Structure 1
Amino acid sequence: MSNVHNHNHEVKDKNLIFSIFLNILITVSQVIGGILSGSLALLSDALHNFSDVISLLLSLFAHRLSKKDANENRTFGYKRAEIIAAFVNSITLIIVAIFLIYEAIIRFSNPVIISSNLVIGLSFLGIVFNGVSALILKKDSEHNINMKSAYLHLFTDMLASVAVLIGGLLMKYFGWFWVDSVMTILIAVYLIFVGIDLLRTSTKMLMLFTPDHINIKEIVSEVHKISGVGKLHHIHVWHLNDGELHLEAHLDCSNDIKMSEFNNLLHQIELVLLEKFHINHINIQPEFKKEDSKDIIVQD
């Protein structure tokens, strides 16, 4: 296997740890406030914040685990741990959302008078704390699916707090206590959409599907332009994690070349795949007039 590394963004533990601390403070405050005020939306927000704490802890554990060295029993190390964390986090988003919808529907038929001042104060606190947490993870989320799952938990929580704040203001000035349930449902529907998108992305990675931005036929076309290449076939392209995009293939050489010549040919292929497709881990099996299927995709 040939490894052509590019510079990856370094994700730091301290950002996650700080976010965990803030979310614990928010969760405790909102649970107490939700009980005292009678606000389902506030308790729902607290539940979502608690799920954030669990998700952030999982993300932190997976991130640290992914840094462990490979060994004879785990030749890839734990590099896929962060994808698993993102997969689990996406499922928790959806489960929490379904639970919120269920509770909101029950509350519709049993409306409760709510202490709106407490709801307004604590929802504002949630906006500030979640906003800060999401902000410090935003850059990491652009480079790492695990951090993206953590960031989405925090960002949606900030939006949830905004919704709760709006609901609190409407209850205070108009007496619309049914708004509490409406805001809860709106929060939940948004969580479902976000969770499904993240679940789809992480599942594709776990199933080793070809990344969405990769066109296999385009790869073949570019590689075939290189002198000495006969046919690239038996191709697999997958993400090991966010920073490692792998390609495995057979290469039918146009001439019966020496190994040193193949090394030069391989180097040219590596450059094309890295520069045009950002593929940085390449494993190519050289062949010459070998009698087997030359199809681009073959069921192994």
Structure 2
Amino acid sequence: MGHNHHNHAHGHAHPQVEGKNLVISIFLNILITASQVVGGIISGSLSLLSDALHNFSDVLSLIVSYIANVLSKKKASTTKTFGYKRAEIIAAFVNSATLMVVAVLLIKEAIERFITPQEVESDLVIWLSLLGIVANGFSVFLIKKDSDKNMNMKSAYLHLLTDMLASVAVLIGGLLMKFYELYWVDPLLTFIIAVYLIYMGFDLLKDSTRVLMLFTPNTVQVQQIVDTISSLDDVKNVHHVHLWQLNENQIHLEAHIDFSEDIKLSEFDKILEDIEEELYHKHGINHVNIQPEFGKCDNKHVIVQD
């Protein structure tokens, strides 16, 4: 069986992420959460408590992201042949899923409070929302440069960004309650924050689920892969294809190739090199595992359920 990592893959190493920025953000969010929980209870502000709940989810998500970041750098072993390369995908899934759960809880509370509005101590809401804006704004600044490197850091960044925006909304609500006594603004803002959480988290949840479920990457078409390999000399048929992402940086292909002639092993090695070059440059596949066959009676369909 032909099996190889494409040489170019080593030149495109996984970008390293600064773990210290995550640690700073974790401690900042613990400070915000504690302050807003106390302030929300004293002031009676649901939007402040909802912001605190979101901040608490930030703390958990940042801790998960930090652990995943550390694990992803560990080397493979005989008991973990892929290492922890999927740790960051799992973290992205967990973080985006918690965004959904938090959002649903906030919507429920907002509806209940909207039906029975309560007076809110607006001065405390204003000062604590300002604290949230400053602390989360600093965290967003720290994490932003790493947010494009992988799903895990993007999920952490989204948590922080949405929380900063939520604090801005709470500040506006606090000002409206202070000067106009519009207390219904508090649950309305909570509802808007929750809907925004769902909007921001859904795509990330969908993308991380695709990777975890071993779905074919959106960027690759199976039939195009088959056509590319079939165009090479001596290739009669391409079947039993599996195409998946190990993580965001590695796309794996496994396939059976039926050859028109009973070629030598050395000839197959040369064809395998050609396949790797074609698949890497045309489709971004950097790990190829090919089973060569000649005259074998097996299922010749492109996709075969194992």
Aligned to 1:274, what secondary structure does the other structure show?
helix
Residue 86 of structure 1 contacts residue 198 of structure 1 at CA under 8 Å; is this kept in 2? Answer: yes
The letter of the residue matching 1:58 is V
Q: How many Å separate the matches in 2 of 1:139 and 1:282?
A: 32
Q: Which residue of 1 aligns with 2:64?
A: 58
Structure 1 stretch 88-97 or stretch 103-112: which is displaced more? 103-112
If the length of structure 2 is used for normalisation, what is the TM-score? 0.92
Structure 1 stretch 173-182 or stretch 256-265: which is displaced more? 256-265
Q: How many Å separate the matches in 2 of 1:127 and 1:203?
A: 31
Q: How many Å separate the matches in 2 of 1:236 and 1:203?
A: 17
Equivalent position to 2:264, from 233, 258, 262: 258
Percent identical residues: 60
* 1:200-257 CA-partner distances (Å, limit 9, x unpaired): 2222111111111211111112222333332222111111112221111112223322
RMSD in angstroms over aligned alpha carbons? 1.7
Q: How many Å separate the matches in 1 of 2:259 and 2:64?
A: 47
The letter of the residue matching 1:164 is V
Equivalent position to 2:80, from 71, 74, 82: 74
Q: How many Å separate the matches in 2 of 1:39 and 1:209?
A: 44
1:139 partnered with 2:141: no
Q: How many Å separate the matches in 1 of 2:270 and 2:21?
A: 43
Q: How many Å separate the matches in 1 of 2:24 and 2:234?
A: 54
Equivalent position to 1:166, from 152, 166, 172: 172
Q: How many Å separate the matches in 2 of 1:140 and 1:294?
A: 44
**Matching of residues 1-300 of structure 1 within 5 Å:** 1-4=3-6, 5=9, 6-300=12-306
Unaligned 5+ segments in structure 1 are none
The letter of the residue matching 2:236 is G
Q: How many Å separate the matches in 2 of 1:157 and 1:150?
A: 11
Q: Cα distance 1:272–1:129, how it changes in 2: closer, same or farther (>3 A)?
A: farther
The letter of the residue matching 1:3 is H
The letter of the residue matching 2:5 is N
* 4+ aligned runs moved over 3 Å, structure 1: none
Aligned to 2:102, what secondary structure does the other structure show?
helix
Structure 1 stretch 133-142 or stretch 165-174: which is displaced more? 133-142
Q: How many Å separate the matches in 1 of 2:125 and 2:283?
A: 50
Q: Cα distance 1:3–1:165, how it changes in 2: closer, same or farther (>3 A)?
A: same
Between the two proteins, the alignment pairs up a number of residues equal to 300
Aligned to 2:146, what secondary structure does the other structure show?
helix
* 1:154-206 CA-partner distances (Å, limit 9, x unpaired): 11111211211221222222221110100001111111233332222222111
Unaligned 5+ segments in structure 2 are none
If the length of structure 1 is used for normalisation, what is the TM-score? 0.93
